Structure 1
Amino acid sequence: KAMIKKVERVLFELLEFSQSPITTQQLRQHYENKFGNAKDLPSEQRLVSVLQENFGQRIHLLGHGDSLRIAPQATKESKQDEQSQRDTEARVEHLLNAEGGKVDLALLENKYKQAFGISLGVPLLQILR
């Protein structure tokens, strides 16, 4: 069970510093760097089971086999952030469509503020990507 504690440490360190989902290969590599070797880590399939059994509430497993990725479980907060980001994108899209798709950014920011009573709060270019 010491291995599970070590996996937990490595897993959440990696997830914290990675901006995107990680692979089991990255997990193995980080484990090896931290603890000298990865001999006590189980085979790929068993490792996935261990992750699922022990950290299922805290992670998402995306895909499977060689394309398996591990992502942190979205907290309630980040789900709300995603939702408000989607709402903002939908509103901006609505305003863009109303302007025929061509509009200067300052004008769009102003229109957004008028239409929704709040300033955008997110860089427009980020939304328009």
Structure 2
Amino acid sequence: MKKVTGIGGLFFKCKDPKAINEWYKFHLGFDTTPYGASFEWREAGDCKKKGLTQWNPFPENTKYFAPSTKDFMINYRVDDLERLVEELRKENVTIVDKIETFAYGKFVHILDLEGNKIQLWEPKDQ
């Protein structure tokens, strides 16, 4: 089973997400929204298939990364989230929450061996 297919996003804490969005927009040309920026790309094996990588600054006091104490969280794209979560449970990986489904895909959070929170995402576009 192929587990991770790519990086779906990079999330990080900052003092002022609005100012960070504006800085990246002005200096680096990011097409930012209040939620960050989306980078669209095409699958190598099927150029008709689109993918997104999300870039999101969060307020420095966000609890979204908890229980991790790190200032960042990486989102990895996966093919079959439910099957992967079953495998991870068997491997005694800490599953932080239940799989949630939204219009743009399924999500769950896990912890790595150092307690870094990781978001796994099965995009709806797959």
What interval of TM-score do these two structures reach, taking the shorter chain for normalisation? Answer: under 0.3
More strand by share: 2
More helix by share: 1
Q: TM-score w.r.t. structure 2 length? A: 0.24
Q: TM-score w.r.t. structure 1 length? A: 0.23
Higher-Rg structure is 1
